[in-house]
Structure 1
Amino acid sequence: MSLSEFQLIERFFAGLGAARADVRLGHGDDAALVDCGGATLALAVDTLIEGVHFPADAPAASIGHKLLAVNLSDMAAMGAEPAWALLALTLPAVDETRLAAIREGLDALASRHGLALIGGDTTRGESLVASLFVAGHAGEDALRRDGARPGDWVWVSGAPGEAAAGLALWQASVRDGPGVAQLLRRLHWPEPRVALGRGLRGVASAAVDVSDGVVADAGHLAHRSGVALTIRAADLPLSPALTACAGERAMEYALAGGDDYELLFTAPEAASEAVRRAADAAGVTVHPVGGVAAGRAEVTVIDADGAPMKVARGGYRHFDGGGGGR
C-alpha cells in the first residue's frame, strides 16, 4: 500500500532545512507557529485541485470562497487572526468570466476577515490548481493539537456531515428538495469558525479543524496529544437537512464525512460554561460529544448503549486509494 500524505510528510519533509530557534511549532498541526519581531504568527497553506477538492462544475465564485475558507479554517483551529495571503494559480486556459467569479468569491470572504492578498504566482497547466498561503497573528496562547488531557470533554461545532452529504447530492445531480440547498451550500460555501477559534484561546486545551471527518480528525488530535478519545455517536448533532436527505446514512456522514471545516476541540469540564459563552459570542452552536482518557492514542466511537461502533475511514486520501473525492 502506498504511503498516505501524512506519512509522506513525516518521511521525506519533516525537519527539512535548518533548525531555527524562532520556529515554535512545525509540521503536524493545522498551521505552523513562528516568532517574528516579538509576535507569534500562524502560517498555513492549502491546495485545491479541480475534480479532487471541488467538482469541475462547481459555481465559480464558490471556488474562490472555498480556497480561502479551508485556509481560514486552519487559522481558526489555532485561534489565529488571519492577515495576509499569497496565491499560486495554475490554469489550463484563460476564462475571464470564470476568473472574475473566482476573484469575487475570494475577495468577499477576504474582506469579511480583514485579509489582504499581497502576491503570488500564475502558471499554465493541465487543470485548475489553486494554492493559498495564509499568515496571521496567533499569540502566546495559540490553540494546538497536543494539549488534550485525561478528563477533558470533546466538543464539536456546527453540524458535521452536511458537506459530505451535499457532495453526494451534487454528484447525483440533485439540486432541489427539502434540505438540499442547505447541504449544497455547506459543500460549496463552507464557513470557517475563525471567531470561535479566537474565543477558545485560553479555554480549550486542544483543537483541530474537521476537514477529513470527525473521527479522522479526532484521531489526529489523539495522536498529537497522546491520549485516547471516545466519541458518543448519539450526541453528534444531526441537522434536519442531513437526516432528511441522507436518511440511514446521516450518522455515517456525520462521523466520517469531510469538508465541513468545523472545529473539534477539547476542554476541561470546568470550562464548559466558558466554551458555551465563546460559542454564543461567535454565533456558532457547539455540542459535547465525548471525552478524553489516558491510554493508547486512538479514537473509539460508541453507540447509545456504550458499545463500540465500526466506522468507515473518513476523508480523502491522495495516495493510498482511500476516500472518494472531495
Structure 2
Amino acid sequence: MAGERAHEFELIERYLAPLATDPGSVGLVDDAAVLSPAEGEDLVLTKDALAADIHFFTVDPAGAIAQKALRVNLSDLAAKGARPLGYLLGLALAPDWDERWVADFCAGLKADQEAYGFPLYGGDTIKVSAGPVLSVTAIGALPRGSAVRRSSARAGDRLYVTGTIGDAALGLALRHDRDKARAWGLDAAQTDHLLQRYLLPEPRTQAAEAVRLHARASMDISDGLVGDLAKMAGSSGVGAEIDLDAVPLSDAAALTVRDDAAFVTAMTGGDDYELLVAVAPEKTDAFEAAVAQSGVSLSRIGRIEAGAKVSYRRAGEVYDFGAAAGYSHF
C-alpha cells in the first residue's frame, strides 16, 4: 500500500486544494493566504490541537476526527461572538497513513466547511512517528471592539449555559467501559446519544450574535463546567454561586447522575463545547429572546458574586467537588 500513496504535494493537490475555496488561499499553490478583513471589523484567531488517543480515538472515523477538529475551534469563535471566516490546518500523519483515511478525513472537512461556511485557507502536512495529530487555527470576524472576553464578568451577572452538560464526558467514560451503560440503566438510544456527543461536538455558532450583542463575559466549556467556571471567575476577579439542580442534563445524563461518581464526571469532565455566558441583569430578557430565536437551548444556572469563592448547591445543600476541578492538559 505504501508504494501507492501520494507524495506530499500530490496529497495537497488531490485532497486539500479542493477545500481551499476562498480566493485568498489561491488554491494552496502559494506559501501563504492573504485575508483582507472588512472595514471596521476585528479578526478573532484561535487554535486547538488534537492528538490521537488523547483527544480522539485512532479507531474513530476519519471524517468525524476532521469535524471534531473544526468544531472545537468554531466553539471558541462562537464564545467570542464572532462569525467564522476560515481556517488553517496542520496535519501530521503517521508513517502507515493511507489515502483512504485522508480521503475520508477531507470528506468530513468538506461537509463541515459547507455547513458552517468555513473554508480552508492553507496549512502544512508532515509525517510523524505517531499520529495523526491535527492543529487547526480558526479565524473569525466581528465588529471592531465587540469581542466578548471571559474576564469581564461582574457581580450580579446571571450565568447561563447552552445545550446540555456532561454528555461528552459520560460518552468518553462509556468508550472506556461499555458495561457502564448497564450499570447506569441506559437503553441503546441513550447510550448512542452519549457516545455521539463525545465523538462530534455541536458548536453553538447560531448563538454567537446573541452573545456578542448581550453578554458581558463568555467562554466555551471545553474542560468541564466546574473547571471553566473557575477560569472565568478567576480571570474576572469574582466569585459565583451555582444551583447544580438547574444545570441542564440530557435524558441519558439524568439517568447516570443518580451515581455520584457519574455526577462528578458530568460536571467536571471535558468536551461539552457548550457556552458559559455571564449577562448583566438588565440584558437577560433580550439575551434569552435572542438565543431562543437562534434555536439553541439555554438554561440559567446561577449568578456572579462579589469576592473570589465559587460555591455550588445541590438539593439545597452545599456541594463540594473537592479535587475534581476539571480537565487539565498537563
**2:39 and 2:113 mapped to 1: Cα distance?**
25
Shift of 1:243: 2.5
* Aligned 8 A contact 1:211 1:260 in 2: yes
> Structure 1: which amino acid aligns with 2:237?
G
Give unmatched runs, 5+ long, in structure 2. 1-36, 182-186
Question: What is the TM-score normalised by the length of structure 1?
Answer: 0.82
SS, match of residue 113 in structure 2? helix
* Aligned 8 A contact 1:211 1:315 in 2: no
2:224 pairs, out of 202, 206, 213, with 213
**Residues 1:100 and 2:76 aligned together:** no
> Structure 2: which amino acid aligns with 1:159?
T
When the two structures are aligned, how many residues end up with a matched partner? 284
> Structure 2: which amino acid aligns with 1:272?
T
Shift of 1:257: 1.5
Aligned to 1:68: 70
Aligned to 1:88: 90
Post-superposition Cα deviations, 1:24-64, rounded to whole Å, max 9, x if no partner, equal xxxxxxxxxxx986421100011000010011221221100
**Runs ≥4 residues deviating over 3 A:** 35-38, 173-176, 244-247
> Structure 2: which amino acid aligns with 1:256?
T
> Structure 1: which amino acid aligns with 2:205?
V
1:266 pairs, out of 270, 278, 296, with 278
Post-superposition Cα deviations, 1:282-321, rounded to whole Å, max 9, x if no partner, equal 211111101111102x4222222242423542443232xx
**Residues 1:177 and 2:188 aligned together:** yes
2:210 pairs, out of 179, 186, 199, with 199
**Residues 1:77 and 2:88 aligned together:** no
> Structure 2: which amino acid aligns with 1:42?
V
Q: 1:283 to 1:250 in 2, by over 3 A?
A: farther
* Aligned 8 A contact 1:227 1:292 in 2: yes
**2:87 and 2:137 mapped to 1: Cα distance?**
5
**1:259 and 1:96 mapped to 2: Cα distance?**
29
> Structure 2: which amino acid aligns with 1:203?
H
1:56 pairs, out of 36, 58, 63, with 58
Shift of 1:162: 0.1
SS, match of residue 138 in structure 1? strand
Question: What is the TM-score normalised by the length of structure 2?
Answer: 0.81
* Aligned 8 A contact 1:146 1:206 in 2: yes
Aligned to 1:287: 299
**2:189 and 2:123 mapped to 1: Cα distance?**
41
Name whichever structure is richer in helix by fraction.
Answer: 2
Percent identity, aligned pairs only, is: 38
* Aligned 8 A contact 2:48 2:137 in 1: yes
Aligned to 1:130: 134
- Of residues 304-313 and 186-195 in structure 1, the stretch that sits farther from structure 2 once superposed is 304-313
SS, match of residue 284 in structure 2? helix
**1:310 and 1:163 mapped to 2: Cα distance?**
19
- Of residues 115-124 and 37-46 in structure 1, the stretch that sits farther from structure 2 once superposed is 37-46
Cα-Cα RMSD: 1.9
Give unmatched runs, 5+ long, in structure 1. 1-34, 320-326
Shift of 1:197: 2.1
Shift of 1:259: 0.1
* Aligned 8 A contact 1:44 1:71 in 2: yes
